[in-house]
Amino acid sequence: MGDSMRWMVLAACRSADPGIFEDTETSGPREQRAVDAALRVCGTCTVRTRCLEWALATEQPQGVWGGHTTPQRRALLRARTRPRIARRVVRAA
């Protein structure tokens, strides 16, 4: 494990059921209970911010990471990309 991933050994999810972090984007009650359980684990985690940053940097396609679901992370990535696109358009003008 590289230095940039050492935070993982401190993650609260290491002792949790990995199945609750799958975040399949299916909106049934069972899936929602799993996501809620994952978010509760994330809420106790001391490395939640590092986890989220890693998930965003590596564009994790699925799962609960850093206390965020897949749709929430996609929205964060879109928000981060928009300013860069706007700067490119302004520079090109």
42 annotated to a ligand binding site: yes
pLDDT at 23 (0 to 100): 77
53 annotated to a ligand binding site: no
Q: How far apart are CA 11 and CA 43, in angstroms?
A: 11
pLDDT tens for 11-70 read: 999 999 999 998 766 678 888 999 999 999 999 999 999 999 999 999 999 999 999 999
pLDDT at 5 (0 to 100): 83
Closest by CA position to 69, among listed 58, 57, 56, 50: 56
16 annotated to a ligand binding site: no
Question: Structural domain boundaries of the chain?
Answer: 3-92
45 annotated to a ligand binding site: yes
pLDDT at 51 (0 to 100): 97
pLDDT at 81 (0 to 100): 78
Query: pTM of the entire structure?
Result: 0.80
